[in-house]
Structure 1
Amino acid sequence: MNKITPGAAPRPDEPQPDLAAAVRRLSHANVLVVGDVMLDRYTYGDVHRISTEAPVPILTIEREVALPGGAGNVVRNLTALGAATAFISVVGDDPAGQDLTGLIGGHSNVEPWLLVQGGRTTTLKTRLLAKGQQLLRADREQTDPIHPKLAERLVRIALDAMAATSVTVLSDYGKGLLCGDVPAKIIEAGRKMGRVVVVDPRGADFSRYAGADVVMPNRQELAAASEMPVDCEAAIIAAAQSLRATHGFGAVVVTLGNDGMTLVDASGWQHFPAEAAEVYDTSGAGDTALAMLSAALAVKHDLSVAVRLANLAAGVSVGKVGVSVVREADLLHALTPQRSALRKIVSCEEAAEQAERWRHRGWRVGFTNGYFDLLNPGHIHLLEQARAACDRLIVGVNSDSGTQRLKGAPHPIQPEAARAAVLAGFAFVDQVCVFDTDTPEALIENIRPDVLIKGANHVAEEVVGAERIRDWGGRLLLVELTDETSPPAAYSPVP
């Protein structure tokens, strides 16, 4: 078995690892993921009445989102860290399989091998949600083992891909991919090639994963596989040690939800308390932890450091709404939580995720945008009035290239980094994101603000996003300008 030598529990006189530096190395990881992929479809809407046909709520659909789930969510989290990923799975020749092929193939740093089995049903999970509350989940799936010939082909591809990657992840969701001797063949190949194999197990029979370097069961899986109680720390450690001895695992990392994680290996055990400050949604946290652990091992981090990062990533994940990925910036922010104005500057994706979290807490989210090239009192007046109309304000800023396209030379006078930093320094601005498109239409669509704010020099019908915001119950606010706004760069007729 390829041995991973973890560090012992740190003593007070030992130097602590630089976790921020460890996080920055994760983008150099190269990981192979083999596992069950599924399509997660989210249908969002609102409920205003009960059906007359049956005592059930009527969901008025506003939008639908489709994401790769299962092992596909592990891949999403790896790519969010910047890691290069090879992905091997099986889909059916159905619309869900086609959607997954398109979604996963769209990632630039993923090498996908989605094998197609004719007549097989691709796992599809459809969730109906209103105001952050899941009303119903409907599953369509087929869990019998994949065709033997397809399994042989899958193993051959996996062995070739292992040669080009540092860590192999077996993400078992019990949907028929990692059945029979498929896990054993991959683990044996990893041993011969000197590759680390990490397993997210399923079911009570862990003998299928014998010889794996790391297995990551949760509390319930640990109890089922060991047939031992897990009602206290000592019992958890004993059960994990039993699994190591029985199946030759290098290490067992037990995920314990709100209680954190426990690592048991040849040198003993370490417990890592949960890192979450606030819990919004636990969906996908296990996939996030698995991706983080694997990426950390791929860049040769010590196992105890890898578990600390996985525990941290899980804590960040449950602080998000829905199955959201965890990025480098999220981890660095969690490691240095002190408030800083520059931390308000986020990507457009992060702004949309934060807006969803704020709405989940019942806060009204406002959005305004502009060039904000040379700030004047009129700009500040607009921003103050915008913040007064909502609980949290997101400001979109035209990028340098976008500003030059729309306004021509010599604009912008100030580079986008400087313009964003100045805006972030105001207490009445909660987040700033730079967008490169000519209009903020796509950004507004993703953030879905409750209030869209512009200067009163705009005509309501011409404001980008004004028509769409009414579709989800939001409103447009036109703020009266002050005499100091001349000429108003932020309120340019260009949307």
Structure 2
Amino acid sequence: QTLSQHDVVILSDYGKGTLASVQQLIGEAKKAGKKVLIDPKGSDFKKYRGATLITPNWSEFQAVVGDCNSDEDVVTRGLALLVELELEALLVTRGEKGMTLLQPNEAPIHMPTQAQEVFDVTGAGDTVISTLAAGLAAGSSFSEATVLANQAAGLVVAKLGTATISQQELKATLHTLDDMPKGFVTADELDVAITTARVNGEKIVLTNGCFDILHPGHVRYLQQAKDLGDRLVILVNDDASVGRLKGPERPINPLETRAEMLSALACVDWVCAFTEDSPREHICRILPDVLVKGGDYKRIEDIEGHDCVAVAGGATYVLDYVDGCSTTNLIKNIRDTESKR
């Protein structure tokens, strides 16, 4: 009778023995068609098998799956745990690193923390699971409810002691999500923008490169890339990275100029710089729906990050370049012209 009056069941395990019959509770709730959300405790998660979603914190998650040294580890081990426990979703709360939402056959969603200041984390887990429950009960998807929970947690940890947040506080915070950053953005801004796009069902396309001197070949390539999805992300090598890859005389144009030119293209949504020689780490963090590279790659297996994208259910494509259009050729032609003067 009690179950019939509610849409979602929350089981918060504090390790005190109250949830000794947790499997029976899960069974009764599922039989009644109710979602079961569990805030787990301890290193034995098998007792939560069949729940709708569990929300382990970082230490609880690693105690079960082992140490995770990268987002790729979190995704791989989290998906294995999700399958083993027959869950519909798994939400790992990761402190200052935000949250990671995993669902079967869906791209992982990494949400950066929304906390501007942290005064007290007491009750943050309760805030997360209760906000999730409210969102799901109202008809939100897992990703939409997680956005709400992430915002709520960011508000509550900024308060002293065990605190709550009001509906008005949460609404005011959510209004900022309508102002998605565009153009040249930081890695954190990009994560927020991509998360918001995915919550709205948009398909993310990603490519990377130096883009030193923008030419028609680049433009046509990027237009083709955008046609493969809804949002186009460009990871662009910073100046130090270009110098290591192309030689001491490169780049011709500094990062800010290259980013401004790329951002001005109608087909480009976000440009984000990276300093490493390889973009793999960033590709494996973002996990785009589509990864794209230009025609100088003959095999998809040679494209950095293709394996991470494939594991997450995404696709990798090689697009043809425009014959005769290349930055190297442009620089050579300019130098040849100068030498003839």
Calculate the TM-score normalised by the size of structure 1: 0.39
1:67 aligns with 2:17: no
Number of the residue aligned with 2:292: 453
Structure ranking higher in helix proportion: 2
Contact 1:45 1:59 in 2 (8 A): no
Aligned partner of 1:422 in structure 2 is 261
Q: 1:127 to 1:425 in 2, by over 3 A?
A: closer
2:103 aligned residue: 129
Aligned residues of 2:120 and 2:158 also touching (Cα < 8 A): no
Instruction: Kindly report which structure 2 residues correspond to 1:467-486, keeping only aligned pairs within 5 A, or say none.
Output: 467-486=307-326
How many angstroms apart in 1 are the aligned matches of 2:154 and 2:89? 31
Tell me the SS of whatever aligns to 2:149.
coil
Aligned to 2:153, which of 287, 290, 293? 287
Other structure's SS at 2:309 match? helix
In 2, the alpha carbon distance for the partners of 1:133 and 1:358 equals 12
1:466 aligns with 2:306: yes
Structure 1 distance, partners of 2:271, 2:107, is: 28
Quickly say closer, same or farther: Cα 1:360–1:57, change in 2 above 3 A. Answer: farther
| Offset at residue 471 of structure 1 (A) | 1.4
Residue 173 of structure 1 is matched in structure 2 by 123
Tell me which amino acid in the other structure corresponds to 1:315.
Answer: L
1:407 and 1:314 map into 2 onto residues whose CA distance is 44
Please give the residue correspondences for 1:203-214 in structure 2 after superposition, counting only pairs within 5 Å: none
Q: Return closer, same or farther for 1:286/1:426 CA change in 2, 3 Å cut-off.
A: same
Give CA-to-partner distance per residue, 1:255-290, whole Å, 9 cap, x none: xx99xxxxxxxxxxxxxxxxxxx9762213333224
User: Over alpha carbons, which structure has the higher Rg?
Assistant: 1
**Is the deviation greater in 382-391 or in 455-464?**
455-464
Length, aligned pairs only: 232
Give the corresponding residue for 1:110.
none
1:164 matched to which residue of 2? Answer: none
Question: What does the per-residue CA deviation read over 1:350-374, in whole Å, with 9 as the maximum and x for residues that have no partner?
Answer: 3234333333333221110111111
Q: Deviations along 1:421-447, whole A, 9 cap, x unmatched? A: 111111111111001110110110011
Number of the residue aligned with 1:358: 197
Compared CA separation, residues 126 and 447, structure 1 to 2 (3 A) = closer
Amino acid at match of 1:409: P
Q: Which amino acid letter does the alignment assign opposite residue 467 of structure 1?
A: D
CA distance in structure 2 between the partners assigned to 1:380 and 1:392 by the alignment: 16
Measured in 1, the distance between the counterparts of 2:316 and 2:86 equals 29
Q: Which amino acid aligns with 1:472?
A: A
Q: In structure 2, how many angstroms separate the alpha carbons of the residues matched to 1:312 and 1:354?
A: 18
Q: Write out aligned runs for 1:377-396 (5 A).
A: 377-396=216-235
Provide closer, same or farther for how the CA distance between residues 489 and 455 of structure 1 changes in structure 2, counting only shifts above 3 A. Answer: farther
Change (3 A) 1:346 1:65: farther
Aligned equivalents of 1:168, 1:452: Cα separation in 2: 36
Task: Give yes or no for contact 2:204–2:288 (8 Å, CA) kept in 1.
Answer: yes
CA deviations on 1:370-425 (whole Å, 9 max, x unpaired) are: 11111000000110000011111101100011111211222111111111111111
Gaps of 5+ in 2: 1-55, 62-73, 109-116, 136-143, 161-165, 331-341
Amino acid at match of 1:417: E
Relative to structure 1, the CA distance from residue 415 to residue 312 in structure 2 (aligned partners, 3 Å threshold; closer, same or farther) is: farther
Distance 1:480 1:367 in 2: 16
Give the CA deviation at 1:292. Answer: 5.7
**1:67 is aligned with what amino acid?**
R
Q: Does the 8 A contact of 2:94 with 2:100 survive in 1?
A: no
| CA RMSD of superposed structures (Å) | 4.6
Partner of 2:69: none
CA–CA separation in structure 2 for the residues paired with 1:428 and 1:46: 37
Higher share in strand: 1
Structure 1 residue ranges without an equivalent (≥5)? 1-36, 78-124, 135-166, 176-201, 203-216, 221-256, 259-277, 295-306, 320-333, 491-495
Partner of 2:70: none
Write the deviation string for residues 81-138 of structure 1: whole angstroms up to 9, x where unpaired. Answer: xxxxxxxxxxxxxxxxxxxxxxxxxxxxxxxxxxxxxxxxxxxx9986346799xxxx
- Give the distance between the partners of 2:217 and 2:261, measured in 1 at CA: 15
For residues 265 and 238 of structure 2, what CA distance do their matches in structure 1 show?
19
Quick check: 2:92–2:101 contact (8 Å CA) kept in 1? no
Per-residue CA distance 1:216-270 (angstroms, 9 max, x = gap): x9xx9xxxxxxxxxxxxxxxxxxxxxxxxxxxxxxxxxxxx99xxxxxxxxxxxx
1:404 correspondence with 2:243? yes
Distance 1:60 1:172 in 2: 24
Question: In 1, Cα distance between the equivalents of 2:242 and 2:273?
Answer: 11
1:288 maps to a residue whose letter is G
Relative to the length of structure 2, the TM-score reads: 0.54
Q: In 2 relative to 1, CA 487–285 (structure 1 residues): closer, same or farther, beyond 3 Å? A: closer
